[in-house]
Amino acid sequence: MNTQPARIVFVRSKEGKEKLRPALSPGNLDKTIAAPVTAIIAHDLMFYENLPTAFPHRPDAIKLFQGDDKKAGNVTVAFRNGSLQGAYFIVAARALGLDRGPMSGFDNAKVDAAFFPDGRWISNFLCNLGKGDPSKIFTRSPRLTFEEACRLA
């Protein structure tokens, strides 16, 4: 229903990076502090507020989600659709010629406490953006074959 739950904080400043620092896993620390931009891909648990505009052909759609913002159905929609948007974000950054460093290696609760204290937005993953040093970044990793990843039914 065109919910568009993803919300993005582009962390660019030194102060912003210092707010991120305590949440980062050791392997992700230096590259995140060095990256020109670290995007926090989050989702808004009250995404449904935009439905009257975003999904105009069903004006009552908002009622499906109103009430308990933390109920499982709402959280699942926000997480699933926000993750898809996050993946498109990576593809879009790539299309612009940027290197992308998506990361799960961080403490979500610490990022949420530092950046989203009211609890309405929840962090999903981080994504560094910039131009990597080719001598230091990985080349493209192997992908599974069709047979490994798919079944025909």
Ligand X SMILES: Cc1cc2nc3c(=O)[nH]c(=O)nc-3n(C[C@H](O)[C@H](O)[C@H](O)COP(=O)(O)O)c2cc1C
Binding mask 78-117 toward ligand X (x if CB under 6 A, else -) reads ------------------------xxxx------------
Residue in the block written with tokens 């660019």: 12
Site for ligand X in 14-73 (CB under 6 A): 28
C-alpha distances (whole Å) from 94 to each of 4, 48, 97, 99, 131 are 21, 29, 5, 6, 11
141 binds ligand X (CB under 6 A): yes
CA distance 118 to 115: 9
C-alpha distances (whole Å) from 93 to each of 34, 82, 86, 131 are 18, 16, 11, 11
Which stretch in 9-17, 52-60, 112-120, 136-144 sits in contact with ligand X by CB under 6 A?
136-144
Q: In the complex with ligand X, which residue's Cβ is closer, 67 or 134? A: 134
134 binds ligand X (CB under 6 A): no
Which residues lie closer than 8 Å to 1 by C-beta, 6 or more apart? 51, 54, 55, 58, 61
DSSP state of 139: P
Binder of ligand X out of 13, 138, 144, 150 (CB under 6 A):
138
> How near is the Cβ of 140 to ligand X at its closest, in Å?
4
Residues within the interface to ligand X (CB under 6 A): 28, 102-105, 125, 138, 140-141
